[in-house]
Chains A and B, each alone.
Chain A
Amino acid sequence: MNLVTISGPPSSGKTSIILKTIQAVQNRGLKVGVVKFDCLYTDDDQLYEKAGVPVKKGLSGALCPDHFFVSNIEEVVQWGRRQALDLLITESAGLCNRCSPYIKEIQGICVIDNLSGINTPKKIGPMLKSADIVVITKGDIVSQAEREVFASKVSSVNPQAIVMHINGLTGQGAYELSTLLYDEKEDVLTVKGKELKFSMPSALCSYCLGETRIGDDYQLGNVRKMELGEQNDG
């Protein structure tokens, strides 16, 4: 089984791209399944189900979805193997700009869209910077100039990535992506012992642990204070 992890900001087009790409992979007679990781809610599983794709979802609730991803990925891989999948795709809602679900030696793809604003590539951290492939969507509704500017920003924060432009509505470019996702020589039996491409902050503060009261007296552990200038600067 091959494993591919896909991440990207909310509504950037991940599911659209994955569905179109799966069609092309299925045409080669391969069996594909998807696991969706999100925080509070998703109905992506229904979209995959409707397309006849075996699917599971995991909601992280109070946790950062990427932390939740690492804690569950081994079980997810074993699920995929039990389903006898040739290709298992994980879709993660990239809600935390500090974390990313990419694993060393496993292909990591970041999906971002042309509408998200010119500074988005600068704002997103490891999710974009350590991706192997960056897919840019929604090029059908912005100008050529904006596509070129956006792509150049992406390249400047991750010059080593393959950058692809895919239209999530028509699927133009999805076939091409599909050719990069499956390698028959590859077989992932387990991800046990593999490492994340980028470490996630442990960052526990009192509030992570359930504190609700405000004030210095209640703040323990990892506390960072904003710099707001002189105390009497008003």
Chain B
Amino acid sequence: MMDEKILKNMTLDDLLLRYPFVGTYLENNKLDIEGFGTMTFEEYLNQFDEEYVETWAMDKEKIENDLLVYILQMLSFLGLKAEQTVRSITILPGQDKVGQKETFEPITIRSGDIVSIVGPTGSGKSRLLADIEWTANYDTPTKRCILINNEVADTKWRFSSSNKLVAQLSQNMNFVMDLTVEEFLELHAKSRMVENVNQVINTILESANQLAGEQFMRTTPVTALSGGQSRALMIADTAILSTSPIVLIDEIENAGIDRKKALKLLVSSEKIVLIATHDPTLALMADQRIIIKNGGIHKIISTDDEEKRILSELEKLDKIVGNLRHNLRLGNRIDQTMFV
């Protein structure tokens, strides 16, 4: 295992060979080591004179300590990625806004499960999500407890920035970077320390195009994607690249994207899928539904056979509406034959 002593004696060349991600650290800290590869990190830092250190606000001691912390963090990140760590989360009851005890039976959600969350705005949906993200341990305003794999959660989930428990997708999210789809995915893949970048880009692009109504290419700028295409790319990217074991979806509009396939993709990536929605089709696609009222979990309903039957009717309706929208876009007249 890497430690202070080993780091002190390694040359920069050796360090980079063993831990290629150290390159990112050096680059983001503006340390150009070209020509200094045979020095140790300490020797390299020591060749900067006082004036340089003062002018460029360099803290040698911190930069040196930080490198070790960074290496250990990245190693643990890679280790975690290798083993699928979160197999289930369990929500234990707490209390609502006025301190009334929640009465639901503890609910366990396993990877591959889909659970919807319904309740009016301000009813406590964000608080429930925050409890999950923070792995509440009777220490949040709701006094709930969140177990991971049936055990009290490790606090690493609270503070680790590279290993967030929850990935989020919502209607309001947009791509803001000025990059093409390919450059964008490459950047993300590298930050997740993926080895086979090109292959991963292909997989994501293919999956995203299966979800999106209209195809897009590697060279399309991410900011030029339509709403449906953006959402498709975000979902495929999250399913394939994000290491967060839980995905929270805050509504997906039923336009330009195949929502059923989107959920299937997430489920097949072993994610725990939570959907905050008031859209009946989306809500009924879940196996269970959490009903929030007055800051508390009011009850939990399992989607039964009757609801499943209604869901398939709804899906037919959605298809008709989708077809009408398509025809409208093409400039066609809408007629009765489209309404079956």
Q: How far is the CB of B238 from chain A (nearest CB, A)?
A: 5
- Interface pair B161/A141, CB less than 8 Å apart: no
- Given A125-B57, A172-B130, does the pair A155, B161 have CB atoms closer than 8 Å? yes
Interface 1/0s, chain B 41-85, versus A by CB < 8 A?
000000000000011010100100110011001000000000000
Residue of B nearest to A165 (CB): B164
- Our count of residue pairs bridging A and B at CB distance below 8 angstroms stands at 116
Residues of chain B within 8 A of A151, CB atoms compared? 161-162, 164
- Interface pair B59/A146, CB less than 8 Å apart: no
**A42 contacts the other chain (Cβ, under 8 Å)?**
no
Residues of chain A within 8 A of B158, CB atoms compared? 176
- Interface pair A145/B139, CB less than 8 Å apart: no
**A10 contacts the other chain (Cβ, under 8 Å)?**
no
Interface 1/0s, chain A 128-152, versus B by CB < 8 A?
0110000000011111111011011
Of the candidate stretches A78-86, A156-164, A205-213, the one touching chain B is A156-164
Of the candidate stretches A48-56, A115-123, A182-190, A225-233, the one touching chain B is A115-123
Q: Which of B30, B185, B187, B237 meets A144, CB within 8 Å?
A: B237
Q: How far is the CB of B276 from chain A (nearest CB, A)?
A: 12
Interface 1/0s, chain A 18-40, versus B by CB < 8 A?
00000000010000000000000
Most buried by B among A125, A145, A152, A173: A145
State in angstroms the CA–CA spacing of A16 and B98 once bound together. Answer: 26
State in angstroms the CA–CA spacing of A201 and B57 once bound together. Answer: 9
Q: How far is the CB of B44 from chain A (nearest CB, A)?
A: 17
Of the candidate stretches B111-119, B174-182, B318-326, B330-338, the one touching chain A is B174-182
**B24 contacts the other chain (Cβ, under 8 Å)?**
yes
Residues of chain B within 8 A of A170, CB atoms compared? 126
Residues of chain A within 8 A of B192, CB atoms compared? 148
Residue of B nearest to A24 (CB): B141
- Given A129-B59, A129-B62, A144-B238, does the pair A175, B141 have CB atoms closer than 8 Å? yes
Residues of chain B within 8 A of A155, CB atoms compared? 70, 73, 161-162
State in angstroms the CA–CA spacing of A179 and B176 once bound together. Answer: 32
- Given A160-B65, A179-B139, does the pair A145, B28 have CB atoms closer than 8 Å? no
Residues of chain A within 8 A of B161, CB atoms compared? 151-152, 154-155, 163
Q: Which of A140, A157, A199, A224 meets B172, CB within 8 Å?
A: A140
Interface 1/0s, chain A 55-81, versus B by CB < 8 A?
000000000000000000000000000
- Given A118-B177, A144-B234, does the pair A149, B172 have CB atoms closer than 8 Å? no
Given contacts A98-B57, A126-B59, A129-B62, 20 further A-B pairs with CB under 8 A are A114-B176, A118-B187, A121-B28, A140-B172, A141-B173, A142-B175, A144-B168, A145-B238, A151-B164, A152-B161, A156-B24, A157-B29, A159-B70, A160-B69, A173-B133, A175-B140, A175-B141, A176-B134, A176-B158, A224-B55
